[in-house]
Amino acid sequence: MCRSIKVLRKTGQPLATKDEVSAAARQFIRKVTGSRNPARVHEAAYEEAIADITAITGRLLAQMEIKAKASA
């Protein structure tokens, strides 16, 4: 996996910010596509994928936080 992607969830610490989640999503897409800057024809798909992964990751982290609080 991409070593530059920051761990977003650590027990006992606040949830990652939306900016941190978005930055991790951007790094992931860069790794998957092998491209730091997509061609103009692919920009929309690139940005849409980043938005989708940001949203999915945010939901995952929120669910993990809810379950951790319920267990405590």
pLDDT digits (tens, 9 = 90+) for 46-61: 999 999 999 999 999 8
Instruction: Return d(Cα 5, Cα 32) in angstroms, integer.
Output: 13
16 in Cβ contact with 65 (< 8 Å): no
Instruction: Return d(Cα 8, Cα 36) in angstroms, integer.
Output: 21
Whole-prediction pTM: 0.79
pLDDT digits (tens, 9 = 90+) for 15-38: 788 999 999 999 999 999 999 899
